[in-house]
Structure 1
């Protein structure tokens, strides 16, 4: 007779040999992942990370580019060096080939506008003591003279300006005070040219900064005359990127001083950029208004 232990062992072997009954005492390993598959997954992850890092460096998201701007070389030390002259010439070519500027020049109403370059004919002895025409002029700052497209009735203007890296407050972002200065000058031109003696000073200037203005780009400052009453002229303006993004809004009032006739208004007009001389004389009928769209008060 079999002992109790022998019978249990025999029953256990018979039970394991029956179909459909799994022996849990021996593990059944499933399909294992190959080493090659693991390497492919790791390589793909590394590759995607490298691509994302490269794209992020070239086209950083706005918050990243603001908080961690890329380092840039400083402007040339000598504005008259061959390097500086070549830099300025290249910028001028870019300005003249801007698609937006070309579009404006080809519009149906282009004959109603004229172009001028303020400070281009400004005497050197006066330029050296001027902020935007002298101290801030040069490569890396205001490398080019502004290009103005002005409506012939002097009601509107569009100013194309390049802002260099030397005009930043926070690295890569143009200083807000510099934008206020440029707006003050461009708004002043529109206001002053509509005042009786063509002379005026800033009485009020209010700004709303809508978005950071990045350096190393062309911007457009648009101005529009408002109410002109006696010695006061109101004007509004805005700074835009070339893609139309609103950067700064402004409103201002300029006042003609009582001693305006004693000032050198001819030199002021020369600095602002005078409109080209008319090819033909303007003949007015008795009582005809030369500027019917202007708000006379």
Structure 2
């Protein structure tokens, strides 16, 4: 019984270098010297390292949201006063067009969940609610004299067109300095849907297919004009075509000075359950 205390006392008096050699040398697992020396050496060396070494980053910490910059982003002139753009002033003088800002007139409870009006809206993204000008035309063979119009004729599908003006901020890029093509495609789809809403009795159409041809790079911080027109309506189907132009940085000149950045065409279908859907695109 007295052998163990003497062994412990001997170990405590042994210099640290000697204890290190003892740990490095192969000792029998049952040796009291090996056991006690290993325990004390591990405790002495592990305690400081536990205090100095930070824990490894977890997946959650590595992807934690970064602290926003203390300097807020400054809205561009287009964000605060897009209505003064010469193009919008020209469109307002056209008596055949009806001006609207559908994302602002959308029911408030729908706006946060809407991809364009909610997710893409922001001072560095889609910097302000787009301006939209709508015009619908009834084909001549469907336009009898006023006295002969019936309820069925008045509700007949109509061809329509839409012109939208919007500003794209700096956070809508794919490659740095160039607007993401997916954003342009979304804007085509959004405006096309508004356009065909005039061609369906229910006021609702869903995208069956959308084809976009990109012509020139689109730049952030610019004003864009998107023109759409229903070129054919057959029952619950409507075909739409459109172009998108990037306006010059300086607010001078007309639309003809804009750069054609993309063209698109799409097929929309009025769903059979359209009457049960929320009428987001009715105007």
What corresponds to 1:250 in structure 2? Answer: 264
Contact 1:211-1:246 at 8 Å conserved across structures: yes
1:75-101 superposed Cα distances (whole Å, 9 cap, x missing partner):
xx69xx9966x727x435542221222
- Partner secondary structure for residue 109 of structure 2: helix
Q: 1:199 to 1:152 in 2, by over 3 A?
A: closer
| Inter-partner Cα distance in structure 2 for 1:203 and 1:253 | 5
- Does the 8 A contact of 1:238 with 1:246 survive in 2? yes
The 1:123/1:155 distance shift into structure 2, 3 A limit, reads closer
Aligned residue in 2 for 1:234: 239
User: Structure 1: how far apart are the matches of 2:233 and 2:192?
Assistant: 13
Structure 1 residue runs of 4+, over 3 Å off? Answer: 81-84
How much is the aligned-residue C-alpha RMSD, in angstroms? 2.4
**Deviations 1:166-191 (Å, cap 9, x if unpaired)?**
00001111100111111011011111
Change (3 A) 1:254 1:152: closer
What is the match of residue 75 of structure 2? 87
Q: Find the residue that maps to 1:213 and give its secondary structure.
A: coil
Q: In structure 1, what is the Cα distance between the partners aligned to 2:108 and 2:84?
A: 29
The alpha-carbon distance between structure 1 residues 99 and 82, as it changes in their structure 2 partners (threshold 3 A), is: farther
Number of residue pairs the alignment of both structures matches? 187
2:214 to 209, 212, 224: 209
Q: What is the rounded CA distance, in whole Å, between the counterparts of 2:262 and 2:232 in structure 1?
A: 21
Q: Which residue of 2 aligns with 1:259?
A: 273
Aligned to 2:281: 269
Instruction: Tell me by how many angstroms 1:123 deviates.
Output: 3.3
The whole-number CA distance in structure 1 between the counterparts of 2:237 and 2:117 is 26
Q: Which of 113, 125, 140 does residue 129 from structure 1 map onto?
A: 113
Secondary structure, in 3 states, of the residue corresponding to 2:95? helix
| Contact 1:113-1:151 at 8 Å conserved across structures | yes
Verify: 1:102 aligned to 2:114, yes or no: no
Q: Deviations over 1:218-249 (max 9, x none)?
A: 10000011110100000101110123211100
1:195 maps to which residue?
200
1:140 positional shift: 0.5
Match of 2:126 in 1: 142
Secondary structure (helix, strand or coil) at the match of 2:164 reads strand
Q: Verify the 8 A CA contact 1:191 1:225 in the aligned structure 2.
A: yes
* In 1: Cα distance, 2:182 partner to 2:72 partner: 29
Q: CA deviation at 1:161?
A: 0.6
Give the conservation status (yes or no) of the 8 Å contact 2:91–2:97.
no
TM-score, normalization by structure 2: 0.61
Q: Is the 8 A contact 2:244 2:263 kept in 1?
A: yes
Determine if contact 2:129/2:166 at 8 Å carries over to the other structure: yes
Matching of residue 120 in structure 1 with residue 104 in structure 2: yes
Q: What is the TM-score with the length of structure 1 in the denominator?
A: 0.58
**Ranges in structure 1 where 5+ consecutive residues have no aligned partner:** 1-76, 275-297
Partner in structure 2 of residue 158 of structure 1: 163
Change (3 A) 1:170 1:260: same
1:199 aligned counterpart, secondary structure: coil
